[in-house]
Amino acid sequence: MSWWWAGAIGAAKKKFDEDEPPPKHESVALIIGVTGIVGNSLAEILPLSDTPGGPWKVYGVARRPRPTWNEDNPINYIRCDVSDADDVQEKLGSLTDITHVFYVTWAHRPSEAENCEVNGRMLKNVLDVVIPNCPGLKHISLQTGTKHYLGPFESFGKIAIPDSPFDESLPRLDHINFYDTLEDILFAEVEKKEGLTWSVHRPGKIFGFSPYSLVNLVGTLCVYAAICKHEGAALRFPGCKAAWDGYSDCSDADLIAEHHIWAAVDPYAKNEAFNVSNGDVFKWKSFWKVLAEQFGVEYVEFEEGQQLTLQELMKDKSSVWDEIVRDNGLTPTKLEDVGNWWVIDLVLQGEGWLDTMNKSKEHGFLGFRNSKNSFISWIDKAKAYKIVP
């Protein structure tokens, strides 16, 4: 059974024996955004001895210094600001052995026009250096997301969108979207090298681990629950009735990483765009109870007429979080870094749009996750790395 058909990497991550000679590498990965929510999973999975396409040598690129929670991954960490063309040339220009690029980063700006400019520039800076310098380059894997079907954050609820579940045959929206900019750059750049292939991956709500992520749903909910527990307050639902009662889906970060690797090494997955989600559905009213149980805090059902936002509830909680970090000996963090309140408010203020995994399954990817187990496992990881108590 193929690795991605098995649909799981196992509960324990394998580690290399320091006494063993280093393996001969069959593939060399460049992860752009290695400390992000999917980049971190790629950094854990790619070096494993049974990962398809391997053994893999892995370069991991991120803008900030290497964090402690990423140190155990056997990768070559490169600190580089990919929005700066000179920095990219200096830091990545000497790499000539890359065979696969996994582009899993993005930058958030106030307007979608600015998002198009900065994110397009970041991707082009990387490809302008890697493609001509790496003769063995085979594949570029680009991550976008469900906003391909919904439009940018600033237009949610303001433009017409297709009915869900979304499938990959749907045309682009007639609206500015930086995902389209990234795709267009990718398609143009791969034409410059004969035989170079690509894949585009569109996850939805990502469940994973990274205190550096701009959209860490599970981590932010953990921080909210920890603050409620610390203050003796009930866990109230900051969303609408449609989100509470309706069906939602999500994408496990490890599953997304498996999906990227599958598309990078399976000939049948080349030059295609794919949705990637766990393959099941859930209701937030069920997961709200799970979240409360994991932190030993009381919760209340959805309150009609009591519309809440986490941005409002948490606006004066910085000192409270400092107390929690100090009292529990947690990894030092600031509330604004681990509490992505705007993302939770956005996700929980509307219905839970769904996608379909049929195309991925038809092309050979049969991986899946139990979303409840995924939710709990990422909560456990946030606790294990002492991000939350």
Q: Which residues are catalytic?
A: 147, 179
Q: How far apart are CA 226 and CA 218, in angstroms?
A: 12
Q: Which two tokens stand for residue 50?
A: 């049974």
Q: Which two tokens stand for residue 3?
A: 């690795």
Q: How far apart are CA 261 and CA 4, in angstroms?
A: 9
156 to 87, 95, 217, 313, 340: CA distances (angstroms): 35, 41, 18, 22, 18
Neighbouring residues of 204: CB distance < 8 A, sequence distance ≥ 6 = 145, 146, 249, 250, 251, 275, 277, 353, 355
Determine contact, residues 68/105, Cβ cutoff 8 Å: no
Q: How far apart are CA 242 and CA 141, in angstroms?
A: 34
Helix, strand or coil, per DSSP, at residue 265: helix
Q: How far apart are CA 114 and CA 178, in angstroms?
A: 9
Determine contact, residues 387/280, Cβ cutoff 8 Å: no
Torsion of CA 160, 166, 170, 172, to 10 degrees: 50
DSSP classification of residue 294: H
CB atoms within 10 A of CB 136: 11
Please provide residue 252's backbone torsions phi and psi, each rounded to the nearest 5 degrees.
-70, 135
Helix, strand or coil, per DSSP, at residue 333: coil
